[in-house]
């Protein structure tokens, strides 16, 4: 029997995510749009994540993976080859989907065939699962030069056409900067982007430590070197590279003074009272699902 081809595939690679994986999966199962498949890809976990992934009995959930950690870019590229859906949604193992995320993003892509990728706003949570801000509440500037400087989407909010992802794989040599590089490459190639201002994801912004932040800065610098000469010119490119390394120095200093959490909070727009209540209601809904 030929496997059913769903409208939407959800890509969820995980690595040692036992604390958050179950809730992430529940948030997919609770979607108002039901014609989906969830691909849980174990990227070499050594905790109980794989046992959690295989504990779900929903036929729409597929579990696969590798024994040795290979990184997010390679995991996602592999998932893209496995996806059966017309559309492919990104998600991380510590995120939570809004119940209408798939419905709203599929609706936009179905009604706008010229659009290849769509992102959304997201509520941001701290390590205590308290809503602390919102990101990407307004449609981004999609000019290639601005994408190079500022980025484009919050990576785990993205849904796109599966065929597009197959034609435009992530660069596996750029850990922690693969999304910025792909958006730059896509913009240069004429990809059309869409955006939904409604927060369709609850995003956990963990304090990742100095080493992880410095890797991000180095990755950004590599992207600037690759695309900067064409998009902004050599002089501006050198300024962006210097800025990337300066950010690393500032972050190291702030972390040494115990100010890392304050830096993370500053990256978000403050929540209105109504937004805080909405994010809190979503969190409470997920807690009830787990009981």
Looking at the structure, do residues 33 and 137 belong to the same domain, yes or no? yes
- Does any domain span residue 34? yes
- Does any domain span residue 37? yes
Looking at the structure, do residues 115 and 25 belong to the same domain, yes or no? yes
Dihedral angle over CA of 286, 10, 103, 187, nearest 10? 120
For residue 249, give its domain range: 210-261
Q: Identify the CA nearest to 159 among candidates 114, 93, 104.
A: 104
- Does any domain span residue 150? yes
Q: Distance between CA atoms of 218 and 46, rounded to whole angstroms? A: 28
- Does any domain span residue 2? no
**CATH number of the structural domain spanning residue 123:** 3.90.550.10
**Helices 21-29, 273-290: crossing angle, 10 deg rounding:** 100
Looking at the structure, do residues 166 and 24 belong to the same domain, yes or no? yes
Q: Which helix (H) or strand (E) holds 3?
A: none
Looking at the structure, do residues 277 and 219 belong to the same domain, yes or no? no
Give the bridge partners for 4, in sequence order.
none
Q: Give how many domains the chain has, as a whole number.
A: 2
Looking at the structure, do residues 179 and 239 belong to the same domain, yes or no? no
Looking at the structure, do residues 151 and 255 belong to the same domain, yes or no? no
> Which token pair is 12?
């969820």
Under the banding of pLDDT at 50, 70 and 90, the label for residue 39 is very high
SS3 label, residue 134: strand
List pLDDT tens digits, range 109-119: 999 999 999 99
pLDDT for res 243:
95
Looking at the structure, do residues 166 and 199 belong to the same domain, yes or no? yes
pLDDT for res 256:
82
Give the bridge partners for 63, in sequence order.
40
Looking at the structure, do residues 103 and 59 belong to the same domain, yes or no? yes
Q: Distance between CA atoms of 205 and 123, rounded to whole angstroms? A: 10
Q: The whole model's pTM is what?
A: 0.94
Task: Please identify which residue in the block is written with the tokens 């120095």.
Answer: 249
Looking at the structure, do residues 51 and 147 belong to the same domain, yes or no? yes
Q: Distance between CA atoms of 113 and 193, rounded to whole angstroms? A: 11
Please say if the pLDDT value at position 291 is more than 60.
no
Give the bridge partners for 87, in sequence order.
8, 161
Looking at the structure, do residues 173 and 214 belong to the same domain, yes or no? no
- Does any domain span residue 3? no
Looking at the structure, do residues 201 and 219 belong to the same domain, yes or no? no
Looking at the structure, do residues 152 and 218 belong to the same domain, yes or no? no
Please say if the pLDDT value at position 262 is more than 80.
no
List pLDDT tens digits, range 152-209: 999 999 999 999 999 999 999 987 899 999 999 999 999 999 999 999 999 998 666 6
- Does any domain span residue 64? yes
Please say if the pLDDT value at position 61 is more than 80.
yes
- Does any domain span residue 1? no
- Does any domain span residue 133? yes
- Residue 39's Cβ-count burial label (10 Å; 0-12, 13-18, 19+) is buried
């Amino acid at each position: 029997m030929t496997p059913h081809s769903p409208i939407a595939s959800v890509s969820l690679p995980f690595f040692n995510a036992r604390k958050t994986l179950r809730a992430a999966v529940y948030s997919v199962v609770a979607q108002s749009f039901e014609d989906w498949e969830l691909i849980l890809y174990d990227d070499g976990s050594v905790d109980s994540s794989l046992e959690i992934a295989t504990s779900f009995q929903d036929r729409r959930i597929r579990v696969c993976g590798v024994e040795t950690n290979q990184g997010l870019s390679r995991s996602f590229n592999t998932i893209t080859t496995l996806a059966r859906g017309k559309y492919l949604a990104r998600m991380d193992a510590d995120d939570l989907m809004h119940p209408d995320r798939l419905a709203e993003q599929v609706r936009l892509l179905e009604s706008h065939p010229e659009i290849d990728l769509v992102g959304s706003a997201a509520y941001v949570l701290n390590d205590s699962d308290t809503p602390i801000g919102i990101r990407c509440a307004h449609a981004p500037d999609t000019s290639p030069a601005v994408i190079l400087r500022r980025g484009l989407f919050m990576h785990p909010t993205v849904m796109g056409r599966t065929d597009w992802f197959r034609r435009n794989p992530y660069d596996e040599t750029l850990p922690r900067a693969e999304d910025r590089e792909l958006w730059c490459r896509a913009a240069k190639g004429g990809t059309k982007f869409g955006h939904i201002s409604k927060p369709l994801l609850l995003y956990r912004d963990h304090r990742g430590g100095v080493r992880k932040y410095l890797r991000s800065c180095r990755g950004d610098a590599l992207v600037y070197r690759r695309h900067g000469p064409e998009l902004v010119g050599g002089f501006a490119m050198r300024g962006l590279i210097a800025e990337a390394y300066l950010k690393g120095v500032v972050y190291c200093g702030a972390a040494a003074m115990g100010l890392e959490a304050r830096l993370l909070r500053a990256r978000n727009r403050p929540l209105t009272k109504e937004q805080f209540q909405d994010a809190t209601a979503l969190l409470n809904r997920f807690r009830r699902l787990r009981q």
